[in-house]
Structure 1
């Protein structure tokens, strides 16, 4: 198994992409800390892993709260004896034109995505640096590289996470810790489903046109990226055999962004 005897923490792992990554890691022998603001969903994911013979621990974590992040990461490392992989996946989406974007909502998006990634990194490297190994994996987006209308907060946050990832490749290298970012195209999660009517309303077009033109118009085949696609990349980055691959952005997007 690719991650035998490794330990990972995955935020936003109670549902969606985070849950798929956690389940995939567990199938590969990894003990997984399931961190989520919704403890019930985290507990459900952990129970699914344990029912299949894996090891998991559910932790309620508000990624915008430094104390909660530090305590949660420490509890996972104490339970399983070490920490090898971090996946900073927690996120939300709020869309508005800039002129109508309430600042408190802009800050909320940035605090959860970028602030949460920073706080999780800070907590995890305290465990990784002394053991001189670890993999930091960030959940970016095609919007780490590209902009879209109505998404000023999300695009700014995802660009920021790309910068954080690259900075950690520089800082972590001397400690044996690599840092990479996954930048998916649109994945049909509840977060994306919520955006379809919102963007239709704000852009004055049909929901079908949002999907066809706004979300998938620049792909090579008009297809959504899948949760399984993203989990495959997360496994690849967590299990890579050396620190040769660091500071890199992997973009599973059906060709939406190439570079």
Structure 2
């Protein structure tokens, strides 16, 4: 289950969960590609990985832009020679009640979460199939791939959609030795979540502390946030798994918030 010598593209990896996964992969010997809309941040993140002694690379990528995705993956192949792992992690959040939600914001969420997952998957699968040595596709979903919460209609819809995409990829790609799975974290205290606190507090008439205790963490077994390290450990396991015996699955990492 080693990642040594494998090339891993991680989207939205200039910060947060993506960056934590990037460090975990580099420690395991992978050549990591930081793909992010924030090109300067991607370069800084790639530099931070050089301490592990592996080749690293930064590419500017708007995951909802077909030409940009295809071009970036081609650049990775030209420089590093292969694509063995894709972690589709890029995402944003919009907090709003459905009746007030602007259609443009809905489309933006679908574009980044679902179009982005499809476009990066397609580009990487084409290369994985050519290589004929298998590969791993990992989607960063959410407990909201399983559950719904108020104020998050587009996010919940998109994260549910990742399950369908993953399962279809698992069915189609198995003959090429490629497995696909979804990691479903609970609330991780990243800037994406911290930004939600004042918005949810305002909408729900609570303090930010009450949002944390009464909304975000109320159904966990220990009142704890999921950590970026928790998610990265799961991503290492799924990337290094060598067969399709685990494929089309969703691994929930949520301190017991959601149980199956």
TM range (shorter): over 0.9
Task: Look up the match of 1:232.
Answer: 233
Task: Look up the match of 2:15.
Answer: 15
| 3-state secondary structure, aligned to 2:253 | coil
- Separation of aligned partners in 2, 1:143 and 1:72: 29
Structure 2: unaligned runs, 5 residues or longer: none
Structure 1: unaligned runs, 5 residues or longer: none
Task: Look up the match of 2:199.
Answer: 198
Task: Look up the match of 1:216.
Answer: 217
CA RMSD of aligned residues (A): 0.9
- Separation of aligned partners in 2, 1:202 and 1:73: 41
Deviations 1:181-218, CA, capped at 9 Å, x for gaps: 00000000000000011100111111111100110001
Residues paired across the two proteins, number? 259
| TM-score, normalising length: structure 2 | 0.98
Task: Look up the match of 2:44.
Answer: 44
Could you tell me how far 1:54 is from its partner in structure 2? 2.0
User: Are the aligned partners of 2:177 and 2:243 in contact in 1 as well (CA < 8 Å)?
Assistant: no
Deviations 1:158-177, CA, capped at 9 Å, x for gaps: 00011101110011111111
| 3-state secondary structure, aligned to 1:249 | strand
Deviations 1:64-112, CA, capped at 9 Å, x for gaps: 1000001111111221111100000000001100000011011101110
Could you tell me how far 1:51 is from its partner in structure 2? 3.6
| 3-state secondary structure, aligned to 1:54 | coil
Question: Runs of 4 or more off by more than 4 Å in structure 1?
Answer: none
Instruction: Tell me if 1:114 matches 2:114.
Output: yes
| 3-state secondary structure, aligned to 1:3 | coil
- Separation of aligned partners in 2, 1:55 and 1:229: 25
- Separation of aligned partners in 2, 1:186 and 1:107: 23
